[in-house]
């Protein structure tokens, strides 16, 4: 089993739709969790950290379920500009030495 | 804004050549990283450095070496380039501490290397 698994997609949704991605991780001792966004042929950029209590940033909501070992990302009112690959990242150490990157979920928002 | 600069964006090298990829960050970050990204394989860590002259092997260090003589600069060296090293190379930096912005990884724009 991979340490971090994501559905590669692609997810094709119309503008205005709500879409959700899940990411499962295998190490129950994982310490912190993140979603990064990567546009085609560009570098990844932090979208948001994922906290145990869940967190929201505008149209984006991230949640962590430690019991089931998954994190989720919900995007409401999708925009064309949300089209990208979303990378799930899990940190298994106290610093950033042991980051485990998912392969990403591809999202295409269509007009 | 944090800036991670990779000086070479697109390179074409011949098999057997020595290749240098340079990376500079301007935020006084202790941690620096070199990743490569390939379709279907995702981001894989080549080397990590947590201080000047300090380095740790990542998941795929074979065929690569690194140099960190100054805090802001982290170089990746391909001693003898091979075709299987054709890839996008991403340099990154971060603070060393956990929590808050300490965990954010800032990436350069990437270096696209083709070895022929």
B100, pLDDT greater than 70:
no
Sheet holding A70-75, edge to edge: A4-6, A19-25, A70-75, A60-65, A55-57
A111, pLDDT greater than 70:
yes
Supply A13's token pair.
């949704």
CB contact under 8 A, B105 and A87: no
Residue among B50, B103, B107 minimizing CB distance to A43: B107
Supply A38's token pair.
């990567």
B9-59 pLDDT, tens digit per residue, is: 999 999 999 999 999 999 999 999 999 999 999 999 999 999 999 999 999
Identify the DSSP state of A27: -
B9/B21 Cα distance (integer angstroms): 9
B55-80 pLDDT, tens digit per residue, is: 999 999 999 999 999 999 999 999 99
* B39 Cβ under 8 Å from any chain A Cβ: no
Mean pLDDT of the residues in chain A = 93
pLDDT at B50: 92
**HEC string of chain B?**
CCCEEECCCEEEECCCCCEEEEEEECCCCCEEEEEEEECCCEEEEEEEEEECCEEEECCCCCCEEEEEEECCEEEEEECCCCHHHCEEEEEEEECCCCCHHHHCCEECCCEEEEEC
A6-39 pLDDT, tens digit per residue, is: 999 999 999 999 999 999 999 998 888 999 999 9
Supply B112's token pair.
């696209």
pLDDT at A92: 82
Per cent of chain A over pLDDT 70 is 98
CB contact under 8 A, A42 and B98: no
B101, pLDDT greater than 60:
no
A47/A86 Cα distance (integer angstroms): 9
Show the CA angle centred on residue A37, arms to residues A78 and A22, nearest 5°.
70
Contact between B34 and B47 under an 8 Å Cβ cutoff? The reply is yes
């Amino acid at each position: 089993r991979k340490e971090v698994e994501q559905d590669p997609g692609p997810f094709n949704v119309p503008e205005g739709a709500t879409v959700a991605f899940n990411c499962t991780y295998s190490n129950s001792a994982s310490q912190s969790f993140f979603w990064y966004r990567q546009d085609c042929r560009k570098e990844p950029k932090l979208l948001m950290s994922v906290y145990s209590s869940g967190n929201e940033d505008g149209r984006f909501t991230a949640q962590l379920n430690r019991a089931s070992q998954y994190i989720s990302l919900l995007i409401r009112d999708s925009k064309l500009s949300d089209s990208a690959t979303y990378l799930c990242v899990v940190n298994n150490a106290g610093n950033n030495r042991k980051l485990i990157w998912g392969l990403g979920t591809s999202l295409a928002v269509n007009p | 804004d944090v800036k991670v600069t990779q000086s070479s964006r697109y390179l074409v090298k011949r098999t057997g050549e020595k290749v240098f990829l340079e990376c500079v960050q301007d935020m006084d970050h202790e941690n620096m990283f070199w990743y490569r990204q390939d379709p279907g394989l995702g981001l894989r860590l080549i080397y990590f450095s947590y201080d000047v002259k300090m380095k740790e092997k990542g998941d795929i260090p074979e065929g690569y070496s690194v140099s960190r003589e100054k805090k802001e600069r982290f170089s990746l060296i391909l001693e003898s380039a091979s075709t299987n090293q054709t890839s996008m190379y991403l340099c990154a930096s971060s603070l060393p501490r956990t929590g808050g912005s300490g965990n954010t990884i800032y990436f350069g724009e990437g270096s696209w290397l083709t070895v022929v």
